[in-house]
Amino acid sequence: MVDKNNTAKVSGRSLNISTKMSVEICNYIRGKSLKQAKQMIQYTVDQERAVPVRRYSWNRGHRKGVGPGKYPVKAGTEFLNLFNSLEANAENKGLNVNSLYLVHAKADKAEARWHSTRKGRTKMKNTHVELIVEERNVEDKKEGKK
């Protein structure tokens, strides 16, 4: 399991983003370093690199070098905010920001809020996102490969 002394956690509750795209982003960034994940999502927000869509891939267009993919700008912006908060939480715990790796990334469907429109009421999509980073040393990574 994850040691609480060298980990930092952030939890985004009832974010107004797509649950399906959040699941795909979590699968895309899981296991990466925090710095690399921030850069990957920034490229997605700038629409330079698509997020590969594996689970919810029907009727998705092919993207260069990825296969079926999407550019989830709104979800990506929320993930960048969560990354900044996660980095601040890690600094507050005294962890080295340059050696943080995402060990847990999860997106769950949240409660649906009702929203009034001209055609009546519709449900708004909401998502809970949970991210956990762990501080790793380069020596630990080399020992794990042996």
Q: Which residues pair with 9 in a beta bridge?
A: 132
Confidence at residue 31, expressed as pLDDT on a 0 to 100 scale: 96
Instruction: Please give the single-letter amino acid code of residue 142.
Output: K
What pLDDT is attached to residue 139? 63
Q: What is the pLDDT of residue 137?
A: 84
* CB contact at 8 A, 87 and 97: yes
Predicted model pTM? 0.88
Give the pLDDT band of residue 13 (cuts 50, 70, 90).
very high
How many CA atoms lie within 13 Å of 54's alpha carbon, on the beta-carbon side?
Answer: 7
Number of C-alpha atoms within 13 angstroms, CB side, residue 116?
0
Mean pLDDT for the chain overall: 91
In the predicted structure, residue 141 carries a pLDDT above the cut 80 = no
Q: Which residues neighbour 13 within 8 Å (Cβ) at sequence distance 6 or greater?
A: 110, 128
| pLDDT value, residue 122 | 85
Sequence-ordered list of residues with C-beta below 8 angstroms from that of 80, at least 6 positions apart, any chain: 38, 41, 42, 45
Q: Please report the domains of the chain, with CATH numbers, ordered by start residue.
A: 8-145 (3.90.470.10)
What mean pLDDT is predicted for residues 99-117?
Answer: 93
Q: Which residue has the higher pLDDT, 105 or 146?
A: 105
For a pLDDT cut of 70, what percent of the chain falls above it? 92
Q: List pLDDT tens digits, range 76-86.
A: 999 999 999 99
pLDDT of 1 above 70: no
* Residue range 21-64, pLDDT digits in tens: 999 999 999 999 999 999 999 999 999 999 999 988 778 888 88
Residue 51 near residue 69 (C-beta atoms within 8 A)? yes
